[in-house]
Structure 1
């Protein structure tokens, strides 16, 4: 069966049970073994290094054996995506939704740095595996406890995740280039600073911006940028939920006054 074998008779691999071979008590490999080996292969060689044939070889089995568990590579990627989602720690709401949501965002960011290949998988299929659902539920509980309406929860989670994914993607682009090309970051930064010092003479304000950034250590610069951005996202959510709460109270007060006036007239 080719890697493009169709598996679209179900919307997700989680909707289909694992099959067993006829005439045997079960397949030689388990789904768990296949998924764990796929994660290891992706961590070692990246997405370009994953194929059903190479995975089968890693497991000492033919690619055909894998198709008893997954219809195609896309289904396999669903499984490995959910597998690593299980690494993200969750906890019940603490009473401080902002701190809880920040902790969730930091956990997701750390996960993406441990498994850079996972960034490209967000949005490619519904995140409805057991670990993905547990994560979504934990985040939803935090936001609901913080005063977000059910209709707002998904959008709030998406807002946070969109920022985290976007920021990590740009960080990883640089990190992976440094690793691939064996870039001496200190020498590279010094050379760029020398160039920009001359190139930005007509733009002194822009030079101050660049100079401040280039004088920071690379990892600290990236960390500061992330922390600044995620906190501004949280500021926006905090202002939004506070303003909405104030409007709801105002509407409630007006309705109460209107009802009281109506009662007086009726009396």
Structure 2
């Protein structure tokens, strides 16, 4: 294996790097390394990931990983595309709006299972096969909306970016709540209930917010689910209205 030069520019994406021409040590493969990295990320988060930790999980020397993955960043990019493979394409016999809702829901569920993944959005080009397959599915579904061809890509991007943005905030909050609970603090639902009690009993200048807190609006989980669904339906309703009109956005 050629020695990597210190300070050498790294490729823009692992998917743009030619594969190694020589096989590495027996017993290892890139797929096995990536699956192990995903397991470690799920169990301990981004801060715990290192090439040494992955090698230890595989009972291998850490330098042997570099035959298959050049850098930790490349491994994270591969791990991100690995979990994108869990996003399920919706059934073809559904209406386009239901298909778009199903795709968005599957993407959000993936981020919930792999809370570290949302933090990597924007770090990489996301041009791995699974990410491209998901994007292709979104484009195909959006094309059934009646939008013009030059609007379809924007519609697909809007839905995917909405889910990624929502998941980024949601998973970070859940991670922080899980950390607080492990450290002996209150659970996420207990924290939400305490905040609601504080708003109801104080903050007299925020009358509308106090009135909201006094109603039975559900648990924190129920509110997040409701907000996600409402926002998604607003987006899809807007796309449908645009498709039915003769107006073309600037």
Task: Give the C-alpha shift of residue 32 in structure 1.
Answer: 0.7
Greater gyration radius: 1
- Structure 1 unaligned residues grouped into runs of 5+: 249-267
Question: Per-residue displacement from partner, 1:211-238 (whole Å, max 9, x unpaired)?
Answer: 336x512211211111111111112212
Give a deviation string over 1:96-134, Cα, whole Å, max 9, x none. Answer: 211111111000000000000110122222222121121
Q: Which runs of 4+ in 1 moved over 4 A?
A: 4-7
> Could you list the runs of 5+ residues in structure 2 that have no partner in the other structure?
none
Length-normalised TM-score, structure 1: 0.80
How far, CA to CA, are the matches of 2:129 and 2:7 in structure 1?
Answer: 25
- For residues 152 and 7 of structure 1, do their structure 2 counterparts lie closer, same or farther at Cα, with a shift above 3 Å needed? farther
Deviation of the 1:83 alpha carbon: 0.9
* RMSD of equivalent CA atoms: 2.4
Asked if 1:233 corresponds to 2:235, the answer is yes
- Specify whether residues 136 and 116 from structure 1 end up closer, same or farther in structure 2 by C-alpha distance, changes over 3 A only: same
CA contact (8 A) 1:6 1:71 kept: no
Greater percentage in helix: 1
Residue deviations 1:179-223 (CA, integer Å, cap 9, x gap): 11112455434433332223233332221123336x512211211
CA distance in structure 2 between the aligned counterparts of 1:81 and 1:164, rounded to whole angstroms:
16
**More displaced, 144-153 or 66-75?**
144-153
1:211 to 214, 236, 245: 214
Query: In the superposition, relative to structure 1, how do residues 41 and 146 fare at CA in structure 2: closer, same or farther (>3 Å)?
Result: same
Matched, 1:148 2:162: no
Q: State the distance in 2 between where 1:92 and 1:188 align.
A: 39
Q: 1:202 aligns with which of 186, 200, 205?
A: 205
